[in-house]
Amino acid sequence: MTGQSPDLELQTGLVALTPNLRAFARTLCGAPDQADDLVQEALVKAWKHRNSFEPGSNLKAWLFTILRNAYLSERRKRKYEVSDPDGVMAEQLSVKGEQSGHMDLIDFAKSFGQLPTEQREALILIGAEGFSYEEAAEMCGCAVGTIKSRVNRARVRLAELTGIRDGSEIGEETVSTVNSR
Amino acid sequence: MVGNNRKMSSSIKKMDRNPVADETARAADAPPLPAEAQDRIGRHLQQIYGQLLSEPMPDKFAKLLSDLAKSETDKEPEPKE
């Protein structure tokens, strides 16, 4: 039996997931300051409503839903832009990053920032955070088919913008791929 | 060909009533990317997301949580205890 109180356990869980919250918030609103404000807002809300979290259920999903709702209500008040037109995400990434494939990654980040928010969100939930389609649909309050549609359209658009589709993207993958036509 | 037409007409019909089904139908019209392209996108995605994840975390977050835990303010009424 754990000697920790549920509150302490939750607090530990929240600290552990804050990097994910920050990354997801950046996905939603791009600018680091806005993202961090969102995360703080979400943590306060999560703590306030901690009794509605069912221990043993998916804490990350619960937290992400809180963050997402906070983002949407801020957006309704027109505080945030819908996408990332200034390539804020790409700017941040260009500070670090490995040498090989470096330009591709910046290009990818810029293209990613141009996607509509709901496509970025769906793609991250499925392709980066590893949620199932069912989980993502529940978190986003929509049908599974809608998530699938958003993910697919995001991928197609990314492939077009970055030249992955027509093979014009330069990178170590292209060199090593023998089977490409 | 015939199948495609059927899908198109059903998506046009559904547009009037069910935007979700329409969105799904439209996605069905757009073929998914070949696996290789999907993999490449997935790798890039995980790289940029991974960089976001590994950014150093400012103290203010842990501090916020610690303050919240200490203050015990605004707790929603609990069903038990």
User: Which pLDDT score, from 0 to 100, does residue B80 have?
Assistant: 52
Which of A11, A12, A47, A176 to substitute to test the interface with B, most B CBs within 10 Å? Answer: A47
Is A58 exposed, middle or buried, given 0-12, 13-18 or 19+ CB atoms closer than 10 A?
A: middle
User: Which pLDDT score, from 0 to 100, does residue A164 have?
Assistant: 79
Least confident of A116-130, B33-47, B63-77: B63-77
CB contacts of A36 in chain B (<8 Å) are 58, 60
How far is the alpha carbon of B2 from chain A, nearest alpha carbon, in Å? 23
CB contact under 8 A, B49 and A27: yes
What span, in angstroms and rounded, lies between the C-alpha atoms of B7 and A172?
40
What span, in angstroms and rounded, lies between the C-alpha atoms of B14 and B8?
10
Q: What is the mean pLDDT of residues B14-31?
A: 54
Residues A15 and B62 sit within 8 Å (Cβ to Cβ):
yes
Question: Cα A113 to chain center, whole Å?
Answer: 11
ipTM: 0.82
Residue B42 has pLDDT above 80, yes or no: yes
pLDDT less than 70: residues of chain A: 1-3, 78-101, 165-181
What span, in angstroms and rounded, lies between the C-alpha atoms of A155 and A97?
22
Residues A111 and B44 sit within 8 Å (Cβ to Cβ):
no
What span, in angstroms and rounded, lies between the C-alpha atoms of A136 and A141?
8
User: Which pLDDT score, from 0 to 100, does residue B19 have?
Assistant: 61
